[in-house]
Structure 1
Amino acid sequence: MQGGNTFPFGFGWDSAPEGIADFRFLLHAPAGARGAVRVGRDGHYYTGSRRIRFWGVNFTAGANFPPKSDAPKVAERLARAGVNCVRFHHMDADWAQPSLIDYSGGTSRTLNPEALDRFDYLFAELKKRGIYGNINLLVNRRFFSKDGLPEAIDSVRDVKDQHGIGFFYEPLMVLQQEYARQLLTHRNPYTGLTYAEDPALAMVEINNENGCLQSWFLGVYDRMPELFQQALQRQWNEWLRRRYSTTARLREAWGEIDQPLGTSLLRNADFTRGGAEWVLEQHGSARAEAVYQEGAVQIRITQASDQDWHVQFHQPNLQVERGALYTIRFEARADAERPLRVSIGMAHAPWQTLGVEETVSLTPEWRTYEVVGFVSQDDTNARLLFSGLGKQTGAVWLRGIRLQRGGTVRYLPEGEALAEGRVPILYRRQWARYPERAQKDWLRFLWETEQHYWQRMYRFLKEELKVKGVVFGTIIRCSTPNLMAELDAVDTHAYWQHPEFPNQAWSATDWYVRNLPMVNTGGGTLTGLAVSRVVGRPFNVTEYNHPAPNQYCAEAIPMLTALASLQDWDALFLYTYSHSADLKAERITGMFDINQHPVMWGLMRAGAALFLRGDVARARRWTAAELNADDEIDHLRTSWAWGLVSGEHAGLDGRWAFRHRIGIVRRREDTPPNALPPDKVALNPERYESDTGEVVWTGFSQQRGVFVVRSPVSKVAVGFLKGRSYELGDRFQLRCVEAPLDGFAAFVLTALEHGTRWRCLITTVSYAENTGWNLRELGEGRITVGNQWGDAPTRIAVPTLELSVPFPAQKVACWALDSNGKRRQRIAAVSTGRNTARLRLEPAHRTMWYELILG
Structure 2
Amino acid sequence: MSHLLQAPAGQNGFIRIENGHFVNDAGRVWLNATNLTGSANFPSHPDADLLAERLARFGINCVRLHYMDANYGNFKEEPEQGIFTIDPSTQRNLDPDQMDKFDYMISRFKAKGIYVNINLHVARKMDDRDGFSGSDQRPALDKGVDNFEPRMIELQKEFARDVLLHRNPYTGFTYAQEPAVAMVEINNENALFRQYFIGNIDKLPNPYALELRKQWNDWLHENYKSVDELSRAWSLSKEDLESPFEKREVATIKRDVEYSPSRRDFYKFMYDAEHKYWTGMYAFIKDELGVKPVVSGTQLRYTSPFLQADLDYVDIHAYWCHPSPVNPNWEIGNVSMVNSMHYMYELAGQRIEGKPYTISEYNHPFPNQYGAEGQPMLRAYGRLQGWDGVFQYTYNHRKDFQPQAMTYFFDMIARTDVLAHMPACAAIYLRGDVQEAEEAVVAEVNHMTYFDQLSREKKVTVGIEKAGYAPELALMKRTSIKLTEKPAAVGEADHLEDRIIRSTTGELTWNREIEGAAYWTVNTDNTKLFTGFPEGRDIDLGEISLKIGKTRLGWATVSLVSQNGKGFGKNAYSSKILLTATGLVENKGMEIEQLPKNKIRLSDWGEGPVQAEGIPAKIVFPLPAGKVQCYALDAEGNRKEAVSVKKSKKRGFCEIVIGPEFKTVWYEIETH
TM-score, reference length from structure 1: 0.74
- d(CA) in 2 for partners of 1:549 and 1:680? 34
Give the deviation of 1:201 after TM superposition: 0.6
- d(CA) in 2 for partners of 1:103 and 1:634? 47
Matched, 1:425 2:252: yes
Give the deviation of 1:630 after TM superposition: 2.3
- d(CA) in 1 for partners of 2:513 and 2:183? 37
- 8 Å contact from structure 1 (residues 635, 649) kept in 2: no
Q: Equivalent pairs: percent with the same residue?
A: 36
Larger Rg: 1
2:631 maps to 815
- 8 Å contact from structure 2 (residues 446, 486) kept in 1: no
Matched, 1:99 2:82: yes
For 2:10, which of 32, 44, 69 is the aligned residue?
A: 32
Letter in 2 for 1:609: A
Letter in 2 for 1:207: N
- d(CA) in 2 for partners of 1:735 and 1:767? 18
Matched, 1:159 2:140: yes
- d(CA) in 2 for partners of 1:239 and 1:471? 28
2:98 maps to 115
2:219 maps to 239
- d(CA) in 2 for partners of 1:533 and 1:775? 37
CA distance 1:419–1:679, shift in 2 (3 Å): closer
Matched, 1:792 2:614: no
- d(CA) in 2 for partners of 1:785 and 1:240? 53
CA distance 1:94–1:650, shift in 2 (3 Å): farther
For 2:230, which of 232, 250, 253 is the aligned residue?
A: 250
Give the deviation of 1:685 after TM superposition: 3.3
2:546 maps to 734
Give the deviation of 1:33 after TM superposition: 0.7
- d(CA) in 2 for partners of 1:412 and 1:782? 56
- Per-residue CA deviation, residues 601-623 of structure 1 (Å, 9 max, x unaligned), is 11111111111122111222111
CA distance 1:572–1:795, shift in 2 (3 Å): same
Give the deviation of 1:438 after TM superposition: 1.9
2:443 maps to 625
- Per-residue CA deviation, residues 228-264 of structure 1 (Å, 9 max, x unaligned), is 22222222222222222111111111114xxxxxxxx
Gaps of 5+ in 1: 1-22, 257-409
- d(CA) in 2 for partners of 1:192 and 1:62? 24
CA distance 1:187–1:247, shift in 2 (3 Å): same
Give the deviation of 1:639 after TM superposition: 4.2
Letter in 2 for 1:516: V
For 1:50, which of 20, 24, 27 is the aligned residue?
A: 27
Matched, 1:578 2:396: yes
For 1:603, which of 403, 417, 421 is the aligned residue?
A: 421
For 2:330, which of 511, 536, 554 is the aligned residue?
A: 511
More helix, by proportion: 2
- 8 Å contact from structure 2 (residues 234, 262) kept in 1: yes
- 8 Å contact from structure 2 (residues 531, 555) kept in 1: yes
- d(CA) in 2 for partners of 1:67 and 1:242? 54
2:309 maps to 485
- 8 Å contact from structure 1 (residues 656, 662) kept in 2: yes
- d(CA) in 2 for partners of 1:700 and 1:211? 42
Letter in 2 for 1:527: Y
Secondary structure of 1:137's aligned partner: strand
- 8 Å contact from structure 1 (residues 37, 45) kept in 2: yes
User: How many pairs does the alignment contain?
Assistant: 659
Matched, 1:765 2:582: yes
2:560 maps to 749
- d(CA) in 2 for partners of 1:559 and 1:231? 45
Give the deviation of 1:827 after TM superposition: 1.7
CA distance 1:638–1:820, shift in 2 (3 Å): farther
- 8 Å contact from structure 1 (residues 623, 681) kept in 2: no
CA distance 1:732–1:669, shift in 2 (3 Å): farther
Query: C-alpha root-mean-square deviation of aligned residues, in Å?
Result: 2.3
Give the deviation of 1:539 after TM superposition: 0.8
More strand, by proportion: 1
Give the deviation of 1:455 after TM superposition: 0.4
CA distance 1:411–1:828, shift in 2 (3 Å): farther
2:482 maps to 665
- d(CA) in 1 for partners of 2:350 and 2:513? 23
CA distance 1:677–1:235, shift in 2 (3 Å): closer
Secondary structure of 1:442's aligned partner: helix
For 1:202, which of 182, 193, 199 is the aligned residue?
A: 182
Letter in 1 for 2:417: V
1:654 maps to 471
Q: Which has the higher contact order (CA 8 A, sep 6+)?
A: 1
Matched, 1:777 2:590: no
- 8 Å contact from structure 2 (residues 361, 393) kept in 1: yes
2:76 maps to none
- Per-residue CA deviation, residues 795-826 of structure 1 (Å, 9 max, x unaligned), is 11132111111111111111111122211222
Matched, 1:837 2:651: no
For 1:186, which of 143, 161, 166 is the aligned residue?
A: 166
- 8 Å contact from structure 2 (residues 558, 579) kept in 1: yes
Letter in 2 for 1:74: L
CA distance 1:591–1:670, shift in 2 (3 Å): farther
CA distance 1:679–1:499, shift in 2 (3 Å): closer
- d(CA) in 2 for partners of 1:703 and 1:61? 38
Secondary structure of 1:135's aligned partner: strand
Gaps of 5+ in 2: 73-78
Give the deviation of 1:419 after TM superposition: 2.9
Secondary structure of 2:448's aligned partner: helix
- d(CA) in 2 for partners of 1:578 and 1:466? 31
- d(CA) in 1 for partners of 2:463 and 2:216? 26
- d(CA) in 2 for partners of 1:146 and 1:551? 44
- d(CA) in 2 for partners of 1:424 and 1:487? 32
- d(CA) in 1 for partners of 2:246 and 2:514? 61
- 8 Å contact from structure 1 (residues 496, 547) kept in 2: yes
